[in-house]
Amino acid sequence: MGTPPTAFLIPVHPIVELGFFLCAIGLGVFLLSPPFALVGAGAAALTLLLLQGRAAGRLIGATVPLAAVVALANPLFVPLGQTVLFAYAGGRPYTAEALACGATVAALLAAVLWWFASFNRVMDTAKLLYLFGRFAPAVSLTLTLVLRLVPTFGRRASAVAEARAGIGLGRGSGAKVPAIARVREATVVLASVSAWSLEHGVATADAMESRGFGTGHRATVPCWPLRWRDAVALGLMGALVAIVVAGAALGVTEATFFPRIAVPTGAPLFGVSLVAYGLLLLLPALVMGRERLRWHFSRARR
Amino acid sequence: MALLACEALTFAYPGSAAPALREVSLRVEPGEYLLVVGPSGSGKTTLLRHLKSALAPHGTRTGRVLFEGRPLEAVSRREQAQRIGFVMQNPRDQIVADRVAGEMAFGLESLGCDPARARLRMAEAASFFGLDGWLDRATADLSGGQCQRLNLAAVMAADPAVLVLDEPTAQLDPLAATEFMALVRRLNEELGITVVMGEQRMEEAFADAHRVVVLEEGAVAACGKPRAVAARLVAGDSPLAAALPAPARICHGVVGAEAPAEDTAPLPLTVREGRRWLRRWCAERGHGGAAPANPTPVEPTGRSKESSFASPSAAEPERCPTDGFGRKTGASRRVGVHGCDAALSLRDVWFRYDRTGDDVLRGLSLEVPPGSLCALLGGNGAGKTTLLKVAAGLARPLRGSVRALGRSARRGPFPGVALLPQDPQLLFSQPTVAAELAEMADMAKAAGGSQAEVVELCDLGSLLERHPLDLSGGEQQRAALAKVLLGNPAVLLLDEPTKGTDVLFKKRFGQLLCALTERGVTVVMASHDMEFCAAWADRCVLLFHGAVAADDEPRRFFGANRFYTTAASRMSRDVFADTVTDGQVIAACGAVAAQATEGECP
């Protein structure tokens, strides 16, 4: 919360950052093929690690077991596939193909989650406001307020819970608190937080109106000039996306899992589009890596 | 032409019979610093909000508000937003954006300012208000004082002609409040911004203002230069006189008692003027001027003497009405006796919030005897709030032992110890005050707290059916305290209980705490309010850098300090030894006067 967004370490135009995340998340959801999913998850994890360091490690560590559950549970629902690993519950097959399919989906989900984590980190509300402010000022401001509300709510709720514990109400009052009491306590905390937020929302609305919100044309102040670097990045991203999309049109990004796994490795554009996809996703990581090296060898360090 | 003017403004809220404003006429000249004072509920906020259409309350209104000679309704919302800056009471509620820079830009964006000019305005405001260092910080991480400074900067970035502030420091600690007031004074002095400020706390602003308007029950009771208004307040024995700066209260207490009708010297408003006045006053009566060498004070509390000084002035809070200061000396004798029967004892406590974070408490040791009123003082980040959390059992120390009521720490909060947090709203979750109390009473049935008694003690009788969030700051504090007291705690921990409350409430609150300690409740209070601690605490503990830096009874504690002490002490320290409250200074002056007359008579 406290540290400013890293913004891929070099100042790029928000449209580039937004474009990147749109591509990464948009393509990632559709490319249901083991090699592409693996590349996606790997790039997402690497980017997040470079952005957040240790904190990212925790998130990734928490996601992996979740993904494992998704992967391992898939064969329980999908009894298709030729390679039966074992049978259970009176002969229901548990197949390798279903497991692979589950693993691919899990990798996709994890990748999307991690991309969103990076997105949150990079695209702060000022940038979103800047990008969308001119089309829909009211909507984008509402978005900011809502985005701010979530962490504020959380902080307030824990403060209320602590304050209540401090006067002997709530969680602390017994060694073993029954579930019903805990639920009741949670509703009380929620009631307190909602009343508080309504009360204070009125004051915020007053402050906004007092400062001229909604009195006419609205400008956006933070300006990010579109530099040649941004144009190049956009062009490069566009080219890479075009290659991947071309590959997808030819069917190389698809895979069949049943009755047995088949990835079209031999198709003409398969290698090219996989490399293009990887390059596209690794663009921020490459830029950040280069910046780190540049810092490492810069005069500033001597 | 006046910049802003009210002409016979009368206003009533819908559904209330009595008008909130009665025939208020007011003129604000360009470049003027106008202070609007009055007890809570006197209509300050209602009046100030009428100065901007976007904030004007709904209700029936007669009379006019003029901005540069035009009726306010005829001035477009956009022009008002730009020309009339408004800062409200609660620092956090006014923040819209999630980053400091975004917050500063918000007003300019809403006004459609072009980006290059807006950036220049932001840069100017940021450097004037000292915000350069934290432009990229998240607004959620700022302290209350920083938030309010940001609000002021964001409003000023739009380049308004007049700045209206509605109790801007009520939610801030005194240090942040003083800093904020200094900023407002700079805006007025260096930039010539017209300032209209409503305040309950007059200590800081009174000397800065050009004119003061006193509101009482919605009507203008007095209006004029600060000194004249102060003189009128003390002469009229108004309850507001207790909110005047300490030098003025002391001067009135001394001179008013001596020769009520005589009005020779103007009232001193600042410590500097107060010192000069006191020196001259003492010199006229043959008092040496230098502080006596012996540290033992001449029993100056004055109650025993039959002189006219014995009667407490409006400024001196009345302690436990039964025995004056007697009980205090008895209690303070126990100070420093580190018995094993301490109500609260911390030994070599270390604490940090984060594994990699800094230590907040560093080997802190403290013993609080039962039935005492102990004040924790210290700057922001000295560890006061953390110490209270540790003492309540809400935070477990990394090292060291914490014992409360003879029991050592276990999981969860200590039974019998209650912590009233800085923000009393954290404790409210019900639709009425009565329901709040009932919630607590249900829990505390076993403890046997009597609800009627607590309601009586906290004076909540008329507020029981109100929504807790609709109460004023002082009322909320009392309601929260009542809720806490229903649990019948033996140790009561209070975090900044006097923040945002007026003088009348403080006096009542001090008496309430005294009554509690009489019953054997141990009170530990973290506070920035030195005047309050000097008047009411048995013992003052100064925390510095996570450890105890000083620990003594208030007279010796504040008497020994140079910077960190009450205005009364700063004003009188080279004339009297260890006079730290208004009453003590007035009593010491009484002793001097008595000596002088004795010297003349025989």
Digit-coded pLDDT (tens) for A122-164 = 887 678 777 877 677 677 677 777 777 777 888 899 999 989 9
With DSSP H G I counted as helix, E B as strand and the rest as coil, what are the percentages for chain A, rounded to 5?
70, 5, 25
pLDDT band at B160 (very low <50, low <70, confident <90, very high): very high
Element (H, E) at A187: helix A179-210
Q: Which strands, in side-by-side order, build the sheet including B70-71?
A: B21-28, B4-12, B60-67, B70-71
> For residue B194, is pLDDT > 80?
yes
Strands B399-404, B407-408: parallel, antiparallel or unpaired by DSSP? antiparallel
Percent of chain A beyond pLDDT 70? 90
The model's pLDDT over A94-103, given as tens digits with 9 standing for 90+, comes to 999 999 999 9
The model's pLDDT over A251-282, given as tens digits with 9 standing for 90+, comes to 888 888 888 888 888 888 899 999 999 999 99
Half-sphere exposure of A34 (CA within 13 A, CB side): 16
pLDDT band at B97 (very low <50, low <70, confident <90, very high): confident
Q: Residue written as tokens 């059916």?
A: B465
State the burial class of residue B279 (Cβ atoms within 10 Å of its Cβ: 0-12, 13-18, 19+).
middle
Lowest mean pLDDT among A141-155, B7-21, B114-128: A141-155
| Integer CA distances (angstroms), B275 to B133, B175, B251, B330, B535, in order | 38, 22, 10, 32, 21
Q: What is the mean pLDDT of residues B296-317?
A: 40
Say what the pLDDT of residue A128 is: 77
Nearest to A206 by CA among B359, B558, B96: B96
Q: How many helices (H) and strands (E) are present in chain B, helices listed first?
A: 20, 20
Say what the pLDDT of residue B289 is: 52
Amino acid at B550: A
> For residue A204, is pLDDT > 80?
yes
Q: How far is CA B410 from the centre of its chain?
A: 36
| Residue spans per domain, chain A | 14-128+224-301, 134-210
Q: How far is A128 from chain B (nearest CA, A)?
A: 12
The answer to whether the CB of B241 falls within 8 A of the CB of B233 is yes
Q: What is the mean pLDDT of residues B202-228?
A: 89
Size of interface A-B (CB pairs under 8 A): 185
Q: Tokens for A31, please give them.
A: 């490319």
Q: What is the mean pLDDT of residues B176-191?
A: 92
Q: What is the mean pLDDT of residues B301-316?
A: 39
Amino acid at B316: E
> For residue B305, is pLDDT > 50?
no
Say what the pLDDT of residue A20 is: 93
Q: Residue written as tokens 């009428």?
A: B50
Query: Could you say which of A125, A199, A219 has the minimum Cβ distance to residue B118?
Result: A219
Buried residues in A249-284 as b, exposed as e (16+ CB within 10 A): eeebbbbebeeebebbeebebbeebbebbbbbbbbb
Say what the pLDDT of residue B473 is: 77
Query: Could you say which of B52, B115, B420 has the minimum Cβ distance to residue A223?
Result: B115
Q: Tokens for A298, please give them.
A: 């810069």
Mean residue pLDDT of chain B comes to 83
Say what the pLDDT of residue B263 is: 53
Candidate ranges B30-39, B194-203, B339-348; pick with highest mean pLDDT? B30-39
Lowest mean pLDDT among A161-170, B258-267, B380-389, B420-429: B258-267
Amino acid at B103: E
Lowest mean pLDDT among A163-167, B288-292, B544-548: B288-292
Say what the pLDDT of residue B406 is: 79
> For residue B292, is pLDDT > 70?
no
Q: What is the mean pLDDT of residues B28-36?
A: 95
Q: Which residues of A touch B440 (CB under 8 A)?
A: 167, 169
Q: Which residues of B touch A149 (CB under 8 A)?
A: none
**B576 secondary structure, DSSP code:** S
* Backbone dihedral region for residue B31 (phi beyond 0: left; psi -120 to 50: alpha; all else: beta): left
> For residue B325, is pLDDT > 60?
no
**A7 interface with B at CB cutoff 8 Å:** no
The model's pLDDT over A161-201, given as tens digits with 9 standing for 90+, comes to 989 988 888 754 455 667 788 888 888 899 999 999 888 88
**A6 interface with B at CB cutoff 8 Å:** no
The answer to whether the CB of B165 falls within 8 A of the CB of B87 is yes
State the burial class of residue A15 (Cβ atoms within 10 Å of its Cβ: 0-12, 13-18, 19+).
middle
Q: Residue written as tokens 């500033």?
A: A300
Q: What is the mean pLDDT of residues B308-321?
A: 41
Say what the pLDDT of residue B9 is: 94
> For residue B416, is pLDDT > 50?
yes
The answer to whether the CB of B115 falls within 8 A of the CB of A219 is yes
SS3 call for A84: strand
Q: How far is A76 from chain B (nearest CA, A)?
A: 42
Q: How far is CA B103 from the centre of its chain?
A: 27
| Integer CA distances (angstroms), A76 to A98, A261, B123, in order | 9, 18, 62
Report A:140-199 residues touching B (Cβ under 8 A). 141, 144-145, 147-148, 151-152, 155, 159-160, 162-169, 171-173, 175, 188-189, 191-192, 195-196, 199
Reported pTM: 0.77
Q: How far is B250 from chain A (nearest CA, A)?
A: 39
Element (H, E) at B368: strand B361-368
Say what the pLDDT of residue B135 is: 87
Q: Which of A177, A221, A224 to mutate to test the interface with B (most CBs of B within 10 A)?
A: A221
Rounded CA separation A243/B283 (Å) = 95
